[in-house]
Protein backbone atom coordinates (compact mmCIF):
# COMPACT_ATOMS: atom_id res chain seq x y z
CA UNK A 1 0.00 0.00 0.00
CA UNK A 2 1.43 3.37 -0.98
CA UNK A 3 1.95 5.66 2.01
CA UNK A 4 0.84 9.28 1.90
CA UNK A 5 2.20 11.70 4.49
CA UNK A 6 0.97 15.06 5.67
CA UNK A 7 0.38 17.45 8.45
CA UNK A 8 -3.20 18.35 9.18
CA UNK A 9 -4.16 21.63 10.76
CA UNK A 10 -5.82 25.04 10.92
CA UNK A 11 -8.71 24.95 13.36
CA UNK A 12 -10.64 28.21 13.23
CA UNK A 13 -13.54 29.54 15.27
CA UNK A 14 -15.30 28.30 18.39
CA UNK A 15 -16.90 24.86 18.06
CA UNK A 16 -18.49 22.62 20.70
CA UNK A 17 -17.99 18.92 20.02
CA UNK A 18 -19.98 15.97 21.32
CA UNK A 19 -19.15 12.30 21.77
CA UNK A 20 -18.13 10.61 18.49
CA UNK A 21 -20.12 7.94 16.72
CA UNK A 22 -17.01 6.27 15.32
CA UNK A 23 -14.00 5.19 17.37
CA UNK A 24 -10.65 4.22 15.95
CA UNK A 25 -8.40 1.53 17.43
CA UNK A 26 -5.65 3.31 19.36
CA UNK A 27 -2.05 2.25 19.81
CA UNK A 28 -0.62 2.91 23.29
CA UNK A 29 2.98 2.24 24.33
CA UNK A 30 4.21 0.89 27.64
CA UNK A 31 4.35 4.36 29.13
CA UNK A 32 0.69 4.95 28.44
CA UNK A 33 1.40 7.31 25.56
CA UNK A 34 -0.87 7.24 22.53
CA UNK A 35 1.44 6.66 19.57
CA UNK A 36 -1.16 6.34 16.85
CA UNK A 37 -4.38 4.72 15.74
CA UNK A 38 -5.84 2.59 12.96
CA UNK A 39 -9.17 2.94 11.26
CA UNK A 40 -9.57 6.71 11.65
CA UNK A 41 -12.52 7.80 9.54
CA UNK A 42 -11.90 11.03 7.63
CA UNK A 43 -14.45 12.27 5.12
CA UNK A 44 -15.76 8.76 4.51
CA UNK A 45 -12.34 7.08 4.12
CA UNK A 46 -10.31 5.06 6.61
CA UNK A 47 -6.75 6.04 7.54
CA UNK A 48 -4.05 4.92 9.92
CA UNK A 49 -2.20 7.66 11.80
CA UNK A 50 1.14 7.74 13.63
CA UNK A 51 2.40 10.48 15.97
CA UNK A 52 6.09 11.43 15.63
CA UNK A 53 8.65 13.55 17.46
CA UNK A 54 10.85 15.72 15.33
CA UNK A 55 10.90 18.47 12.79
CA UNK A 56 8.88 18.47 9.62
CA UNK A 57 11.91 17.42 7.59
CA UNK A 58 12.64 14.63 10.06
CA UNK A 59 9.18 13.13 9.67
CA UNK A 60 8.17 13.76 6.08
CA UNK A 61 9.79 13.30 2.72
CA UNK A 62 9.42 16.93 1.76
CA UNK A 63 8.11 19.94 3.63
CA UNK A 64 8.42 22.51 0.86
CA UNK A 65 5.17 24.14 -0.19
CA UNK A 66 4.07 22.84 -3.58
CA UNK A 67 6.47 19.91 -3.41
CA UNK A 68 5.26 17.82 -0.45
CA UNK A 69 3.69 14.40 -0.06
CA UNK A 70 1.05 15.26 2.52
CA UNK A 71 -2.06 13.07 2.51
CA UNK A 72 -4.26 16.15 2.95
CA UNK A 73 -3.31 19.15 0.85
CA UNK A 74 -6.14 21.58 1.59
CA UNK A 75 -6.99 23.38 4.78
CA UNK A 76 -10.46 21.83 4.99
CA UNK A 77 -9.14 18.28 4.55
CA UNK A 78 -6.38 18.84 7.08
CA UNK A 79 -8.84 20.31 9.55
CA UNK A 80 -11.14 17.32 9.11
CA UNK A 81 -8.24 14.96 9.77
CA UNK A 82 -7.20 16.87 12.87
CA UNK A 83 -10.75 16.87 14.12
CA UNK A 84 -10.99 13.11 13.50
CA UNK A 85 -8.11 12.58 15.92
CA UNK A 86 -9.95 14.44 18.65
CA UNK A 87 -13.26 12.72 17.92
CA UNK A 88 -12.07 9.17 17.39
CA UNK A 89 -8.65 8.64 18.97
CA UNK A 90 -8.52 10.51 22.26
CA UNK A 91 -12.02 10.03 23.71
CA UNK A 92 -11.84 6.23 23.66
CA UNK A 93 -8.88 6.36 26.05
CA UNK A 94 -10.56 8.33 28.81
CA UNK A 95 -10.51 5.37 31.21
CA UNK A 96 -6.74 4.98 31.00
CA UNK A 97 -6.05 8.70 30.75
CA UNK A 98 -8.31 10.60 33.13
CA UNK A 99 -7.13 13.92 31.74
CA UNK A 100 -8.83 13.18 28.43
CA UNK A 101 -12.43 14.31 28.17
CA UNK A 102 -14.89 14.02 25.29
CA UNK A 103 -15.99 17.64 25.41
CA UNK A 104 -13.52 20.29 24.32
CA UNK A 105 -13.31 23.57 22.49
CA UNK A 106 -11.28 24.67 19.52
CA UNK A 107 -10.44 28.36 19.69
CA UNK A 108 -8.10 30.03 17.28
CA UNK A 109 -4.89 28.07 17.25
CA UNK A 110 -5.26 26.45 20.65
CA UNK A 111 -7.22 23.47 21.89
CA UNK A 112 -7.99 22.86 25.54
CA UNK A 113 -8.42 19.12 26.10
CA UNK A 114 -8.99 18.47 29.77
CA UNK A 115 -5.76 19.10 31.69
CA UNK A 116 -3.62 18.23 28.71
CA UNK A 117 -1.58 21.29 27.80
CA UNK A 118 -2.19 23.13 24.57
CA UNK A 119 -2.24 21.59 21.12
CA UNK A 120 -0.96 24.10 18.61
CA UNK A 121 -2.31 24.23 15.08
CA UNK A 122 0.21 26.29 13.17
CA UNK A 123 1.00 26.82 9.55
CA UNK A 124 4.41 28.47 9.48
CA UNK A 125 5.14 27.57 5.87
CA UNK A 126 1.61 27.39 4.51
CA UNK A 127 1.81 23.61 4.57
CA UNK A 128 -0.95 23.00 7.11
CA UNK A 129 1.44 21.86 9.80
CA UNK A 130 -0.32 20.32 12.77
CA UNK A 131 1.57 20.12 16.05
CA UNK A 132 0.07 17.42 18.30
CA UNK A 133 2.66 17.80 21.05
CA UNK A 134 0.94 17.30 24.39
CA UNK A 135 2.89 17.78 27.55
CA UNK A 136 2.87 14.80 29.92
CA UNK A 137 0.74 12.50 27.78
CA UNK A 138 1.56 12.59 24.06
CA UNK A 139 5.12 13.82 23.50
CA UNK A 140 4.80 13.78 19.72
CA UNK A 141 4.97 16.69 17.36
CA UNK A 142 3.42 15.50 14.10
CA UNK A 143 0.76 13.20 12.71
CA UNK A 144 1.66 11.07 9.71
CA UNK A 145 -1.25 9.52 7.82
CA UNK A 146 -1.53 6.54 5.51
CA UNK A 147 -4.41 4.88 3.76
CA UNK A 148 -5.72 2.26 6.14
CA UNK A 149 -4.75 -1.32 5.46
CA UNK A 150 -8.03 -2.38 7.06
CA UNK A 151 -10.51 -3.65 4.47
CA UNK A 152 -14.23 -3.07 4.98
CA UNK A 153 -16.51 -6.04 5.70
CA UNK A 154 -19.14 -7.45 3.36
CA UNK A 155 -22.69 -8.02 4.57
CA UNK A 156 -24.68 -11.04 3.39
CA UNK A 157 -27.56 -13.02 4.83
CA UNK A 158 -29.95 -15.82 4.04
CA UNK A 159 -33.42 -16.43 5.41
CA UNK A 160 -35.58 -19.48 5.99
CA UNK A 161 -39.21 -19.82 7.00
CA UNK A 162 -39.12 -22.33 9.86
CA UNK A 163 -42.84 -22.58 10.57
CA UNK A 164 -46.06 -21.57 8.91
CA UNK A 165 -48.58 -21.71 11.70
CA UNK A 166 -51.21 -19.23 12.68
CA UNK A 167 -51.06 -15.75 11.25
CA UNK A 168 -47.32 -15.47 11.82
CA UNK A 169 -44.28 -17.46 10.77
CA UNK A 170 -41.00 -18.09 12.56
CA UNK A 171 -38.19 -16.91 10.30
CA UNK A 172 -34.47 -17.56 10.64
CA UNK A 173 -32.17 -14.74 9.53
CA UNK A 174 -28.63 -16.03 9.03
CA UNK A 175 -25.87 -13.46 8.65
CA UNK A 176 -22.95 -15.87 8.94
CA UNK A 177 -22.27 -15.40 5.23
CA UNK A 178 -20.92 -11.94 6.06
CA UNK A 179 -17.14 -11.68 6.16
CA UNK A 180 -14.20 -9.36 6.73
CA UNK A 181 -10.94 -9.83 4.79
CA UNK A 182 -8.96 -8.71 7.83
CA UNK A 183 -8.15 -11.84 9.79
CA UNK A 184 -9.21 -11.70 13.39
CA UNK A 185 -11.71 -8.87 12.99
CA UNK A 186 -14.78 -9.35 15.17
CA UNK A 187 -17.87 -8.06 13.38
CA UNK A 188 -20.86 -6.40 14.97
CA UNK A 189 -24.22 -7.41 13.48
CA UNK A 190 -27.26 -5.16 13.41
CA UNK A 191 -30.62 -6.37 12.07
CA UNK A 192 -33.37 -3.97 11.09
CA UNK A 193 -36.81 -5.28 10.14
CA UNK A 194 -39.28 -2.91 8.52
CA UNK A 195 -37.32 0.04 9.85
CA UNK A 196 -37.17 -1.22 13.44
CA UNK A 197 -33.89 -2.34 15.04
CA UNK A 198 -34.12 -5.95 16.19
CA UNK A 199 -30.76 -7.30 17.31
CA UNK A 200 -27.36 -5.64 17.75
CA UNK A 201 -24.38 -7.67 18.89
CA UNK A 202 -21.55 -10.00 18.00
CA UNK A 203 -21.68 -13.21 15.98
CA UNK A 204 -22.76 -15.37 18.91
CA UNK A 205 -25.60 -13.04 19.85
CA UNK A 206 -26.87 -11.75 16.52
CA UNK A 207 -25.18 -13.72 13.75
CA UNK A 208 -28.27 -15.92 13.46
CA UNK A 209 -31.65 -14.90 14.86
CA UNK A 210 -35.14 -16.41 14.78
CA UNK A 211 -38.00 -13.91 14.76
CA UNK A 212 -41.77 -14.14 14.28
CA UNK A 213 -43.10 -12.21 11.30
CA UNK A 214 -46.56 -11.81 9.88
CA UNK A 215 -47.32 -13.13 6.44
CA UNK A 216 -46.50 -10.74 3.59
CA UNK A 217 -43.44 -8.76 2.49
CA UNK A 218 -40.86 -7.37 4.94
CA UNK A 219 -37.75 -5.25 4.35
CA UNK A 220 -34.84 -6.76 6.26
CA UNK A 221 -31.47 -4.99 6.50
CA UNK A 222 -28.25 -6.42 7.91
CA UNK A 223 -25.44 -4.01 8.76
CA UNK A 224 -22.05 -5.42 9.72
CA UNK A 225 -19.32 -3.25 11.23
CA UNK A 226 -15.68 -4.08 11.87
CA UNK A 227 -13.59 -2.82 14.82
CA UNK A 228 -12.24 0.03 12.70
CA UNK A 229 -15.76 1.29 12.13
CA UNK A 230 -16.01 0.33 8.48
CA UNK A 231 -19.40 -1.13 7.67
CA UNK A 232 -21.50 -2.62 4.92
CA UNK A 233 -25.20 -3.33 4.69
CA UNK A 234 -27.55 -5.34 2.55
CA UNK A 235 -31.33 -5.15 2.32
CA UNK A 236 -33.59 -7.92 1.10
CA UNK A 237 -37.34 -8.28 0.81
CA UNK A 238 -38.42 -11.31 2.81
CA UNK A 239 -41.82 -12.54 1.64
CA UNK A 240 -43.72 -15.04 3.76
CA UNK A 241 -46.56 -16.97 2.22
CA UNK A 242 -49.69 -17.89 4.18
CA UNK A 243 -49.77 -21.38 5.60
CA UNK A 244 -51.46 -24.04 3.51
CA UNK A 245 -54.44 -25.93 4.80
CA UNK A 246 -53.43 -29.23 6.35
CA UNK A 247 -55.99 -30.97 4.18
CA UNK A 248 -58.55 -30.18 1.49
CA UNK A 249 -60.07 -33.30 -0.01
CA UNK A 250 -63.15 -33.77 -2.19
CA UNK A 251 -65.12 -36.85 -1.17
CA UNK A 252 -68.10 -36.29 -3.42
CA UNK A 253 -68.73 -33.93 -6.30
CA UNK A 254 -71.40 -33.35 -8.92
CA UNK A 255 -71.52 -31.01 -11.91
CA UNK A 256 -74.75 -30.40 -13.86
CA UNK A 257 -74.37 -28.81 -17.30
CA UNK A 258 -77.99 -28.34 -18.43
CA UNK A 259 -80.70 -25.98 -17.18
CA UNK A 260 -79.97 -24.51 -13.73
CA UNK A 261 -76.38 -25.73 -14.00
CA UNK A 262 -74.56 -26.17 -10.72
CA UNK A 263 -71.58 -27.74 -9.00
CA UNK A 264 -71.65 -29.42 -5.58
CA UNK A 265 -68.90 -30.59 -3.26
CA UNK A 266 -68.63 -32.54 0.00
CA UNK A 267 -65.25 -33.10 1.60
CA UNK A 268 -62.75 -32.65 4.40
CA UNK A 269 -60.93 -29.45 5.30
CA UNK A 270 -58.15 -28.98 7.88
CA UNK A 271 -56.37 -25.92 9.20
CA UNK A 272 -52.57 -25.67 9.44
CA UNK A 273 -51.01 -27.25 12.52
CA UNK A 274 -51.03 -24.76 15.34
CA UNK A 275 -54.16 -22.95 14.18
CA UNK A 276 -57.59 -23.50 15.68
CA UNK A 277 -60.92 -22.57 14.14
CA UNK A 278 -61.97 -20.77 17.33
CA UNK A 279 -59.39 -18.05 16.64
CA UNK A 280 -60.35 -17.46 13.02
CA UNK A 281 -62.48 -14.83 11.41
CA UNK A 282 -65.38 -16.84 9.99
CA UNK A 283 -64.89 -16.19 6.30
CA UNK A 284 -63.55 -18.01 3.26
CA UNK A 285 -62.87 -17.53 -0.43
CA UNK A 286 -63.87 -20.17 -3.01
CA UNK A 287 -62.66 -20.50 -6.59
CA UNK A 288 -63.79 -23.25 -8.99
CA UNK A 289 -62.64 -24.45 -12.42
CA UNK A 290 -64.43 -27.00 -14.61
CA UNK A 291 -62.55 -28.42 -17.61
CA UNK A 292 -59.97 -25.69 -17.11
CA UNK A 293 -62.59 -22.92 -17.34
CA UNK A 294 -63.15 -20.66 -14.36
CA UNK A 295 -66.84 -20.98 -13.50
CA UNK A 296 -66.59 -19.28 -10.11
CA UNK A 297 -64.14 -16.39 -9.81
CA UNK A 298 -62.77 -15.93 -6.28
CA UNK A 299 -65.84 -15.23 -4.16
CA UNK A 300 -65.68 -14.20 -0.51
CA UNK A 301 -68.18 -15.70 1.90
CA UNK A 302 -68.85 -14.36 5.40
CA UNK A 303 -70.34 -17.11 7.52
CA UNK A 304 -72.92 -16.91 10.28
CA UNK A 305 -72.49 -17.25 13.19
CA UNK A 306 -69.06 -15.73 13.50
CA UNK A 307 -65.85 -16.37 15.47
CA UNK A 308 -65.78 -19.40 17.78
CA UNK A 309 -68.72 -21.38 16.39
CA UNK A 310 -68.29 -25.07 15.60
CA UNK A 311 -70.40 -24.67 12.48
CA UNK A 312 -69.89 -22.00 9.86
CA UNK A 313 -72.90 -21.68 7.63
CA UNK A 314 -73.75 -19.55 4.61
CA UNK A 315 -77.02 -19.67 2.71
CA UNK A 316 -76.61 -17.14 -0.05
CA UNK A 317 -78.20 -15.60 -3.07
CA UNK A 318 -76.33 -17.18 -5.94
CA UNK A 319 -77.00 -14.08 -8.00
CA UNK A 320 -74.64 -12.21 -5.67
CA UNK A 321 -71.52 -14.34 -5.99
CA UNK A 322 -72.64 -17.64 -7.51
CA UNK A 323 -72.51 -19.51 -4.19
CA UNK A 324 -75.83 -20.84 -2.92
CA UNK A 325 -74.55 -22.85 0.06
CA UNK A 326 -71.29 -23.11 1.96
CA UNK A 327 -70.94 -24.92 5.30
CA UNK A 328 -67.98 -25.99 7.42
CA UNK A 329 -68.35 -28.09 10.57
CA UNK A 330 -65.13 -27.80 12.58
CA UNK A 331 -63.30 -29.77 15.22
CA UNK A 332 -60.33 -28.20 17.02
CA UNK A 333 -56.68 -29.17 16.66
CA UNK A 334 -55.71 -31.76 19.25
CA UNK A 335 -52.84 -33.91 20.54
CA UNK A 336 -53.12 -37.19 22.43
CA UNK A 337 -50.60 -39.69 23.81
CA UNK A 338 -52.04 -42.67 25.62
CA UNK A 339 -50.90 -46.28 25.85
CA UNK A 340 -52.64 -48.86 28.02
CA UNK A 341 -49.43 -50.08 29.69
CA UNK A 342 -47.69 -46.70 30.08
CA UNK A 343 -48.14 -44.71 33.33
CA UNK A 344 -48.20 -41.27 31.66
CA UNK A 345 -50.70 -39.84 29.21
CA UNK A 346 -50.92 -36.41 27.63
CA UNK A 347 -53.90 -34.67 26.08
CA UNK A 348 -54.36 -31.19 24.67
CA UNK A 349 -57.18 -28.86 25.66
CA UNK A 350 -56.47 -26.29 22.98
CA UNK A 351 -53.70 -25.49 20.53
CA UNK A 352 -53.57 -21.92 19.21
CA UNK A 353 -50.95 -19.88 17.32
CA UNK A 354 -49.62 -18.49 20.61
CA UNK A 355 -50.12 -21.13 23.29
CA UNK A 356 -50.85 -24.76 24.07
CA UNK A 357 -52.78 -26.12 27.05
CA UNK A 358 -52.06 -29.75 27.96
CA UNK A 359 -53.27 -32.15 30.62
CA UNK A 360 -50.57 -34.45 32.00
CA UNK A 361 -51.77 -37.49 33.96
CA UNK A 362 -49.34 -39.80 35.73
CA UNK A 363 -49.40 -42.78 38.08
CA UNK A 364 -46.58 -42.25 40.56
CA UNK A 365 -47.12 -45.72 42.04
CA UNK A 366 -46.25 -47.28 38.69
CA UNK A 367 -43.54 -44.75 37.84
CA UNK A 368 -41.73 -45.21 41.15
CA UNK A 369 -39.79 -41.96 41.27
CA UNK A 370 -39.32 -38.42 39.93
CA UNK A 371 -39.29 -37.65 36.22
CA UNK A 372 -38.87 -34.70 33.89
CA UNK A 373 -40.68 -33.66 30.73
CA UNK A 374 -38.95 -31.48 28.14
CA UNK A 375 -40.90 -30.00 25.22
CA UNK A 376 -38.77 -28.83 22.29
CA UNK A 377 -36.20 -27.45 24.73
CA UNK A 378 -38.67 -24.60 25.33
CA UNK A 379 -40.31 -25.93 28.50
CA UNK A 380 -39.01 -28.15 31.29
CA UNK A 381 -41.39 -29.64 33.86
CA UNK A 382 -40.10 -31.57 36.87
CA UNK A 383 -42.33 -33.98 38.80
CA UNK A 384 -41.04 -35.12 42.17
CA UNK A 385 -41.50 -38.52 43.82
CA UNK A 386 -44.78 -37.38 45.41
CA UNK A 387 -46.22 -36.10 42.14
CA UNK A 388 -45.63 -32.42 42.80
CA UNK A 389 -44.82 -30.46 39.65
CA UNK A 390 -42.58 -27.42 39.20
CA UNK A 391 -40.92 -25.56 36.35
CA UNK A 392 -38.09 -23.08 35.97
CA UNK A 393 -39.21 -22.10 32.47
CA UNK A 394 -40.50 -18.55 32.21
CA UNK A 395 -44.01 -18.26 30.85
CA UNK A 396 -45.04 -21.86 31.66
CA UNK A 397 -47.99 -22.15 34.04
CA UNK A 398 -48.76 -25.28 36.09
CA UNK A 399 -52.11 -25.94 37.74
CA UNK A 400 -52.60 -29.00 39.95
CA UNK A 401 -55.84 -30.63 38.83
CA UNK A 402 -55.56 -33.65 41.14
CA UNK A 403 -52.84 -33.76 43.76
CA UNK A 404 -50.02 -36.08 42.79
CA UNK A 405 -51.87 -37.34 39.73
CA UNK A 406 -52.80 -34.68 37.21
CA UNK A 407 -51.63 -31.21 36.16
CA UNK A 408 -52.67 -28.69 33.52
CA UNK A 409 -49.82 -27.03 31.62
CA UNK A 410 -50.12 -23.74 29.77
CA UNK A 411 -47.22 -23.34 27.34
CA UNK A 412 -46.41 -19.97 25.72
CA UNK A 413 -45.83 -21.56 22.32
CA UNK A 414 -47.54 -23.78 19.78
CA UNK A 415 -47.24 -27.54 19.75
CA UNK A 416 -46.55 -28.42 16.11
CA UNK A 417 -46.02 -31.57 14.09
CA UNK A 418 -42.21 -31.28 14.42
CA UNK A 419 -42.32 -30.96 18.22
CA UNK A 420 -40.62 -33.56 20.41
CA UNK A 421 -41.53 -34.39 24.01
CA UNK A 422 -38.74 -36.07 25.99
CA UNK A 423 -39.43 -37.91 29.24
CA UNK A 424 -36.43 -38.62 31.45
CA UNK A 425 -35.59 -39.66 34.98
CA UNK A 426 -37.34 -42.69 36.42
CA UNK A 427 -39.17 -43.09 33.10
CA UNK A 428 -37.64 -42.46 29.70
CA UNK A 429 -39.43 -41.96 26.41
CA UNK A 430 -39.17 -39.81 23.31
CA UNK A 431 -42.55 -38.79 21.89
CA UNK A 432 -42.79 -37.46 18.35
CA UNK A 433 -45.81 -35.18 18.45
CA UNK A 434 -46.68 -35.76 14.81
CA UNK A 435 -47.76 -39.29 15.76
CA UNK A 436 -50.55 -37.98 17.98
CA UNK A 437 -51.32 -34.56 16.53
CA UNK A 438 -54.37 -33.82 14.44
CA UNK A 439 -55.01 -30.49 12.86
CA UNK A 440 -58.24 -28.57 13.19
CA UNK A 441 -60.30 -30.76 10.87
CA UNK A 442 -63.77 -30.14 9.55
CA UNK A 443 -66.27 -31.26 6.94
CA UNK A 444 -67.36 -28.85 4.22
CA UNK A 445 -70.27 -28.59 1.82
CA UNK A 446 -70.23 -26.16 -1.10
CA UNK A 447 -72.78 -25.49 -3.83
CA UNK A 448 -72.60 -22.90 -6.59
CA UNK A 449 -74.50 -22.09 -9.77
CA UNK A 450 -72.66 -21.22 -12.96
CA UNK A 451 -73.16 -20.23 -16.58
CA UNK A 452 -72.90 -23.40 -18.71
CA UNK A 453 -72.65 -21.61 -22.06
CA UNK A 454 -68.86 -22.21 -22.31
CA UNK A 455 -69.68 -25.97 -22.35
CA UNK A 456 -71.84 -26.64 -25.43
CA UNK A 457 -70.92 -30.34 -25.29
CA UNK A 458 -72.36 -30.56 -21.80
CA UNK A 459 -71.26 -33.65 -19.89
CA UNK A 460 -69.19 -34.73 -22.91
CA UNK A 461 -66.84 -31.79 -22.35
CA UNK A 462 -63.14 -32.60 -22.17
CA UNK A 463 -60.93 -32.53 -20.28
CA UNK A 464 -63.07 -33.97 -17.52
CA UNK A 465 -61.52 -32.12 -14.58
CA UNK A 466 -62.66 -30.15 -11.55
CA UNK A 467 -60.40 -27.84 -9.53
CA UNK A 468 -61.39 -26.30 -6.21
CA UNK A 469 -59.48 -23.67 -4.25
CA UNK A 470 -60.52 -22.55 -0.77
CA UNK A 471 -58.86 -19.88 1.38
CA UNK A 472 -59.94 -19.71 5.03
CA UNK A 473 -59.94 -16.91 7.60
CA UNK A 474 -58.51 -13.42 7.41
CA UNK A 475 -55.10 -15.09 6.95
CA UNK A 476 -56.36 -16.81 3.78
CA UNK A 477 -54.98 -20.24 4.57
CA UNK A 478 -54.88 -21.85 1.17
CA UNK A 479 -55.94 -25.29 0.00
CA UNK A 480 -56.50 -26.88 -3.39
CA UNK A 481 -58.14 -30.12 -4.49
CA UNK A 482 -58.75 -31.63 -7.92
CA UNK A 483 -60.62 -34.49 -9.55
CA UNK A 484 -59.57 -35.94 -12.90
CA UNK A 485 -61.11 -38.18 -15.53
CA UNK A 486 -60.35 -41.37 -13.59
CA UNK A 487 -62.24 -39.97 -10.60
CA UNK A 488 -65.28 -38.62 -12.47
CA UNK A 489 -67.99 -40.53 -14.30
CA UNK A 490 -70.59 -39.23 -16.77
CA UNK A 491 -74.25 -39.73 -15.85
CA UNK A 492 -76.56 -38.18 -18.47
CA UNK A 493 -76.07 -34.41 -18.14
CA UNK A 494 -73.84 -34.62 -15.10
CA UNK A 495 -70.37 -35.46 -13.90
CA UNK A 496 -70.27 -37.40 -10.65
CA UNK A 497 -67.36 -38.42 -8.47
CA UNK A 498 -66.83 -42.17 -8.44
Q: Render 307-370 in DSSP notation, one character per residue.
A: TT-SEEEEE--HHHHSEEEEEEEE---EEEE--TT-SEEEEEEEE-SS-EEEEEEE-HHHH-S-
pLDDT of 82 strictly over 90:
no
> Are 418 and 473 in a shared domain?
no
Is the model more confident about 439 or about 309? 439
Domain endpoint, select from 403, 422, 438: 438
Q: Which domain holds residue 430?
A: 334-438
Q: Residue 50's pLDDT is what?
A: 75
How far, in Å, are 49, 261, 321, 449 from residue 326 at the CA level? 76, 17, 12, 12
Q: How confident is the model at residue 405 (pLDDT cuts 50, 70, 90)?
A: very high
> Are 300 and 324 in a shared domain?
yes
Answer whether residue 264 is part of any domain. Answer: yes
Among left, alpha and beta (phi > 0; psi -120 to 50; other), residue 44 is left
Domain endpoint, select from 215, 240, 265: 240
Q: Residue 75's pLDDT is what?
A: 58
Mean pLDDT, residues 480-487: 96
pLDDT of 313 strictly over 60:
yes
Domain endpoint, select from 95, 122, 147: 147
> Are 328 and 290 in a shared domain?
yes
Number of structural domains in the chain: 4
Mean pLDDT, residues 169-184: 85
DSSP structure class, residue 87? I
> Are 180 and 196 in a shared domain?
yes
Answer whether residue 4 is part of any domain. Answer: no
pLDDT of 356 strictly over 60:
yes
> Are 170 and 294 in a shared domain?
no
pTM confidence score: 0.52
CATH number at residue 223: 2.60.40.10
> In DSSP terms, which residues pair with 295 in a beta bridge?
none
pLDDT of 174 strictly over 90:
yes
Answer whether residue 371 is part of any domain. Answer: yes
> Are 404 and 326 in a shared domain?
no
Answer whether residue 112 is part of any domain. Answer: yes
> Are 236 and 163 in a shared domain?
yes
Q: How confident is the model at residue 13 (pLDDT cuts 50, 70, 90)?
A: very low
Helices (H), 440-498: none
Q: Is the peptide bond before 305 cis (omega within 30 degrees of 0)?
A: yes
> Are 196 and 131 in a shared domain?
no
Mean pLDDT, residues 257-284: 88
CATH number at residue 360: 2.60.40
Amino acid sequence: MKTKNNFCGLMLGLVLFTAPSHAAVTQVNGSGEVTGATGVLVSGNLYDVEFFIGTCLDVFTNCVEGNHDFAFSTASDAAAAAQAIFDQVFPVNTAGHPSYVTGYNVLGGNVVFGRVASYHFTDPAGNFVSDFAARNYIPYGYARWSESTAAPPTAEFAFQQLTNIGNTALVRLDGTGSFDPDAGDVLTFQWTVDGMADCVGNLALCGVIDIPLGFGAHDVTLTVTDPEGASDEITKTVTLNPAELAVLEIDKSKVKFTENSYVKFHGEIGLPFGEDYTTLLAEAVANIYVAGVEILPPATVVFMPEVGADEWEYEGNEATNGISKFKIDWKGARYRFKESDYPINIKSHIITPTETVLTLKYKMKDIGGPFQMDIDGLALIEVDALGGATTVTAGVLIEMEEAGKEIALTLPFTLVDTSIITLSGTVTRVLYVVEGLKGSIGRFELEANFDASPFPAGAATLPRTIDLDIDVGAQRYFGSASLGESELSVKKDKWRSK
